Amino acid sequence: MCSSSTANPQVKRLGRRHSGFYDLRTNKHFTLKTNTLQRADLDEFVACYHAENRHERKPTWSEASPDGRWRSYTYEEIVKRDKCSLDIFWLRDESLEDSDNLPDPDVIAAEIVEDLKAALEQFAEIQADLSKN
């Protein structure tokens, strides 16, 4: 466990702070070829981030709205986590809820192969670019 806010003079000076987290991983299944991340996939995050005025950021998650992807945590909540881990998730992963909904193993294996091939192609392009220089 990390040190508490009362033992940390920096936190005392800053006062009670919140950190916002957006979960783009849970129940989103992006791949390098068949379901690539698109700009539209980030629209909700951009709206929640509220770059023009960070003081107007409002979490979309609450007890009443447990599917909200934007959630705020206090410093105290974060330091209470094991080793102050920032690997934070709160949304229910639908693929883990019911194993009957999982794709067949051959489909999963084919997706893994596809992703690995795409990654290797990208590394080959990088290597070729580096070789030119």
Which has the higher per-residue pLDDT, 101 or 65? 65
Q: Residue 8's pLDDT band (boundaries 50, 70, 90)?
A: low
Q: Residue 44's pLDDT band (boundaries 50, 70, 90)?
A: very high
Q: Residue 97's pLDDT band (boundaries 50, 70, 90)?
A: low
Q: How far apart are CA 63 and CA 44, in angstroms?
A: 20
Average pLDDT (92-107) is: 75
- pLDDT of 75 strictly over 90: no
- Which pLDDT score, from 0 to 100, does residue 98 have? 65
Q: How many CB atoms lie within 10 A of CB 69?
A: 20
- pLDDT of 14 strictly over 60: no
Q: What angle do CA 75, 81, 82 make, to 5 degrees?
A: 140
Strands (E), 23-113: 70-74
